[in-house]
Every structure is written in structure tokens, then in C-alpha cells.
């Protein structure tokens, strides 16, 4: 049975389409909002049911409101981050949990998806940075790490929610680099791993070659791959 598909859309922007055709967007940042790693524009986004932001930095939240307003998607993210967006005019009724969002350990559940927020070791202009695990009724489970360094409890989260896919930052400077990220993959123990948060800013990693090589050493049982921007990968 098909378990859906994912597309890396540049930087930390990821699209997950469930087996039922629902669309989740993680950390959306389009070309017109300054993403140098994508050709994706707001006009290219035809459908979204849920938009999830990991923290309040421009490269993770800049396009969230526009996409929700265009598509009618609900918005999920840390409490004070979504409250900031509401204070700037976003419709509170389109924010999950009756306008509150959620914090680490919490999340939200719809009939078609469960969202669980995890820690992330990073900063944020409001609230705190988080990672996000999503799980669909057919059991498909994804982890979008957001911006983070490696931390030992990744192993625990991987055990609590066995992962089909881990999306991990590899760029260095602001997040873990390829060496840390490959070890994070070993801890998380997903079936598949895809790198994010690279090949965008000039000072972060420009390719995933080192990450893929290190995954072969540290987690040879994991299918690690680096799709091109916009390329779909079946789960």
C-alpha cells in the first residue's frame, strides 16, 4: 500500500502528501520571500491542509501565513510564535488548538494526522524551537527536525515513534553538520533519511555528499538519499 510521498522544496521547506492526498507543509519559505534554494513560489502551491512551523526565524516561517490564507490550511507551531502571527492579522480560528498552537511534548490530532512536537536545540525569536513528528492513520511516521544540533534523546523519540523518514539539517553553522547529522540518523533509526537546511545560504554546506557517505558508515541499514529540489520520493 502506498504510504504517501515527500518533496524537499529547498532549505528546510518540505511537502508531505499522505496516502489519502492530504498535504502537510513544513517550514515553508518560497522564492519570493527570499529562499535562494528554491524555485517554488506561492503561485506554485495549489493545495495545503496543514502548515507546520518549527520556530520563529524568517527562513522557517516567512511564507506560512500567505500559504494558509491562499489554501485555507490550518497553522501549527509553538504558542508564542503563532500568537505573534495572530497579532499581525492572521485568523486565530485557523491556528490549531483553538488558536493556541502547542509546545514541546504536545501537539494536535486531526482524524487524518497526529502531530507531536519534540525538542530542538536552537534559538527562536518567540517561544522555543521545536522539531515535529507527524503520523497518519496508516502508520506512516515522519520527523522534521527543524533547526537543531544532535542530542541524545533523539534515540528515545525514534523508539517512541518508529520513523519511516527523518528529515535532518546538515548545513552546519546554525545546525548540526554532516558528521552530527549522520550520528543523529543512527540514533533515530528511521527507514529513510533525507537531508535538509543546506545548499541555500553561502556559509552552510553546499552538498549532501559527506552526509550520505557518513550515513553508510554509521547507519548502513538506513536508506539515506538526497533528492533534488522539487523531486518526489515515495515512502
- What the chain holds in terms of domains, given with CATH numbers, is 5-220 (3.60.15.10)
Which parts of the chain fold into alpha helices (H)?
A: 58-61, 64-71, 79-87, 96-99, 154-160, 178-188, 209-218
Map residue 154 onto helix, strand or coil. helix
Task: Report the distance separating Cα 14 and Cα 25, nearest Å.
Answer: 6
pTM: 0.98
pLDDT tens, residue order, the chain (235 aa) = 679 999 999 999 999 999 999 999 999 999 999 999 999 999 999 999 999 999 999 999 999 999 999 999 999 999 999 999 999 999 999 999 999 999 999 999 999 999 999 999 999 999 999 999 999 999 999 999 999 999 999 999 999 999 999 999 999 999 999 999 999 999 999 999 999 999 999 999 999 999 999 999 999 999 999 999 999 999 9
Please tell me the predicted confidence (pLDDT) of residue 178.
Answer: 98
Please tell me the predicted confidence (pLDDT) of residue 2.
Answer: 73
Dihedral sign for Cα atoms in the order 187, 126, 52, 37: negative
CB atoms within 10 A of CB 232: 11
Map residue 105 onto helix, strand or coil. coil
**Separation in Å, CA 153 to CA 46, 158, 218:** 37, 9, 17
Contact 18, 41 (CB under 8 A): no
User: 117 exposed, middle or buried (CB, 10 Å; 0-12, 13-18, 19+)?
Assistant: buried
Amino acid at each position: 500500500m502506498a504510504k504517501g510521498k515527500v518533496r524537499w522544496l529547498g532549505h528546510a521547506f518540505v511537502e508531505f502528501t499522505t496516502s489519502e492526498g492530504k498535504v502537510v507543509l513544513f517550514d515553508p519559505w518560497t522564492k519570493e520571500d527570499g529562499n535562494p534554494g528554491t524555485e517554488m513560489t506561492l503561485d506554485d502551491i495549489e493545495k495545503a491542509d496543514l502548515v507546520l512551523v518549527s520556530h520563529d526565524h524568517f527562513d522557517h516561517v516567512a511564507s506560512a501565513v500567505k500559504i494558509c490564507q491562499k489554501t485555507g490550511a490550518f497553522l501549527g507551531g509553538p504558542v508564542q510564535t503563532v500568537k505573534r502571527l495572530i497579532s499581525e492579522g492572521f485568523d486565530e480560528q485557523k491556528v490549531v488548538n483553538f488558536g493556541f498552537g502547542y509546545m514541546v511534548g504536545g501537539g494536535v490530532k486531526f482524524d487524518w494526522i497526529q502531530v507531536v512536537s519534540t525538542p530542538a536545540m536552537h534559538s527562536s525569536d518567540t517561544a522555543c524551537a521545536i522539531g515535529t513528528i507527524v503520523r497518519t492513520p496508516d502508520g506512516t511516521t515522519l520527523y522534521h527536525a527543524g533547526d537543531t544540533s544532535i542530542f541524545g534523546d533523539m534515540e528515545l523519540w525514534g523508539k517512541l515513534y518508529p520513523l519511516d523518514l527523518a528529515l535532518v539539517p546538515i548545513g552546519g553553522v546554525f545546525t548540526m553538520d554532516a558528521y552530527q547529522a549522520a550520528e543523529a540518523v543512527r540514533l533515530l533509526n528511521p527507514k529513510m533519511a533525507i537531508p535538509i537546511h543546506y545548499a541555500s545560504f553561502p556559509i552552510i554546506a553546499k552538498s549532501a555528499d559527506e552526509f550520505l557517505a557518513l550515513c553508510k558508515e554509521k547507519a548502513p541499514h538506513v536508506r539515506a538519499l538526497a533528492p533534488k529540489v522539487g523531486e518526489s520520493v515515495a515512502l
